[in-house]
Amino acid sequence: MNLPNKLTLLRILLVPVFIACFYIGVPWKLYLAGGVFFVAYLTDILDGQIARKQKIVTDFGKLMDPIADKLLTASALVMLVGEQMLAPVPAFIIIAREFIISGFRLVSAGNGSVIAASWLGKTKTVTQCVAILFILFDDLIAKLIGFPLGTVVMWVSVFFTVWSGVDYILKNKGAVSFR
């Protein structure tokens, strides 16, 4: 198994560690969760860069990398909603978009079409990560700047989530038969 695939597996293994952080009885549990989330997110950046640079893109990576990303993001959103740190609506919009686009990609792949991610999809991913980290560190950020930046960035990420989803479907509607 190559390094990018190991990084993808590490990201998947970090999801339950991230979730467990919410149940640790220490006052800094959210900072710990943020640290685990950040490390997991870095594996997402690294695995793709390494795979492309070393030309070791595998079917396993093509399948598991997006699954690992969605597991990490969805677990963070669910935990934040469960802790009442995030309203359910943005979490639902983000998770619904992931289901819709994943289904769209699955059907497209079945028809022999592979659809690459666009800059909007990458922007969506980055803004979601930043929003989740800001919300996890909200106490610290609010104390420093006196403003709930995490909530604002989360809504920015929802904007990019919806825009990238619509853009994805419109640009690739020919890859899926609507008959």
Kindly list the averaged pLDDT for each block of 10 residues, start to end, along the chain of length 179: 93 98 94 97 91 86 88 97 96 96 81 75 94 86 76 95 93 75
Evaluate whether 37 touches 72 at the Cβ level (below 8 Å). yes
Whole-angstrom Cα distance, residue 67 to residue 38?
A: 17
Evaluate whether 86 touches 135 at the Cβ level (below 8 Å). yes
The confidence score (pLDDT) of residue 62 equals: 80
pTM for the predicted model, two decimal places = 0.90
Q: Shortest CA distance to 83 belongs to which of 175, 173, 18?
A: 18
Domains and CATH numbers, the chain: 1-84 (1.20.120.1760), 86-179 (no CATH)
The confidence score (pLDDT) of residue 38 equals: 97
The confidence score (pLDDT) of residue 12 equals: 97
